[in-house]
A and B are shown apart, each in its own frame.
Chain A
Amino acid sequence: TQLLEQSPQFLSIQEGENLTVYCNSSSVFSSLQWYRQEPGEGPVLLVTVVTGGEVKKLKRLTFQFGDARKDSSLHITAAQPGDTGLYLCAGDTQTGANNLFFGTGTRLTVIP
């Protein structure tokens, strides 16, 4: 059973277009992190959101945490080829001793 579902699974767009990636769950998370992973490397943290309704911006990337802390979105404005990669959301349920549960991932390709 996957705790976090991401959509779309694959996304191919032209440079300059906007896009939104979604991360959904029926579980409540105390915090949610977004990572980007490039081929042959491990995921690298982009942002952590903690408060329901929180919005964080990282240059052209905008992250939002749902009011109920069950979902999140990542919006990229004017996508660049350097944005190409696998985007993963990861949530902490704060139940049990651990841990971070990862979503299924969205593979983004930005075509020059």
Chain B
Amino acid sequence: NAGVTQTPKFQVLKTGQSMTLQCAQDMNHEYMSWYRQDPGMGLRLIHYSVGAGITDQGEVPNGYNVSRSTTEDFPLRLLSAAPSQTSVYFCASSSHRGSRYTFGSGTRLTVV
């Protein structure tokens, strides 16, 4: 089925470890975004991309890196995990600005 695929679904990290959250979409969407969801905070934008080779920071970018080498993939890297990065992470894509966002099913990350 077409959509946004996120892996892994669950992850536990120790403080200071690094890891990459994977996101892939097969809808040929130009826009891709990473959000984190915390209780009572809604979804907050971490980084986004408007096309291959183009990325920019969102509302809460510190501690995260992204790259967009292909239209399909948009990985999120945690450089040195901290307990404050414990959250549920969602990747989303859309064909253009203002159109519907299609979300992945999320990655639940716990940093101990």
Contacts and interface: CB of A to CB of B under 8 A. Distances in A.
B74 interface: no
Interface string A37-78: 000111111001000000000000000000000000000000
A35 B45 CA distance: 16
A41 B106 contact: yes
B98 to A, nearest CB: 5
Contacts, number: 64
Q: Is the interface of B mostly helix, strand, loop or mixed?
A: strand
B41 A98 contact: no
Interface of B: 4, 31, 33, 35, 40-45, 48, 50, 56, 58, 90, 92, 97-98, 100-101, 103-106
A89 to B, nearest CB: 9
Nearest to B49: A98
Given A42-B92, A102-B44, 6 more contacts: A2-B42, A31-B98, A42-B103, A88-B42, A98-B97, A102-B35
Nearest to B31: A98
Interface residues of A, number: 27
Given A88-B43, A99-B48, A42 B104 contact: yes
Contacts of A35: 101
Contacts of B58: 98-99
Contact of B48 (A41, A45, A88, A98): A98
Given A40-B105, A40-B106, A102 B100 contact: no
Contacts of B105: 40-42
A45 to B, nearest CB: 4
